Amino acid sequence: MRASRLGNRAGIATAVDAIVAQELMDPEIASYFYFQVTPGSNGMPPVNGHPSVAQLKSCLVNQLANAAGGPEAYPGAPADNMGWQCRNMADSHRALRIPGSVFDRFVMIAAGVLTTAGVSAADIAVIGGVLNSTRTAIVDPARDGGAFMPPTDASAGGG
């Protein structure tokens, strides 16, 4: 897959915007964006040390564009990600304790959005491969389902 088939960075960013919007419509998945969408955050990270939704999307765009052969670096430098230093998948998701069923639903929603947008099945398979390759770094095998459980210490947790 070549990044140009996906519209390069601009096309990938448009797809990521649509994917995240659809993901946030699922209450269980949205619960794992706790540190990004806490009421009153006004688009900024609600807790020091956590990225905004825009910064998370920038990291995902760089990850997918890099995997598609684009010039983007992942995790890249803070200047590339709206001032946020993207982290590897294990570090950024560990405290979220995401169950496999939630991860799988995230990937399925992303595939549905891409299908609706007219992305080829071959390119969706490649993107799905990129997302699925992160499964072991993201999924907590001790959890079998359910929404995010916010920490009692607001400085802990994912992002």
Sequence spans of domains, the chain: 3-138
The three-class DSSP label of residue 30 is helix
At residue 158 the predicted structure's pLDDT band, cuts being 50, 70 and 90, is: very low
| Beta carbons within 8 Å of 106's beta carbon, 6+ residues apart | 23, 29, 131
What's the whole-number mean pLDDT along residues 68-78? 85
The mean pLDDT value for 117-133 works out to 90
Give the closest residue to 110 by CA, choosing from 98, 96, 126. 126
Place domain 3-138 in its CATH homologous superfamily: Globins (1.10.490.10)
**pLDDT number for residue 159:** 45
**Do residues 79 and 50 make contact, with C-beta atoms less than 8 angstroms apart?**
no
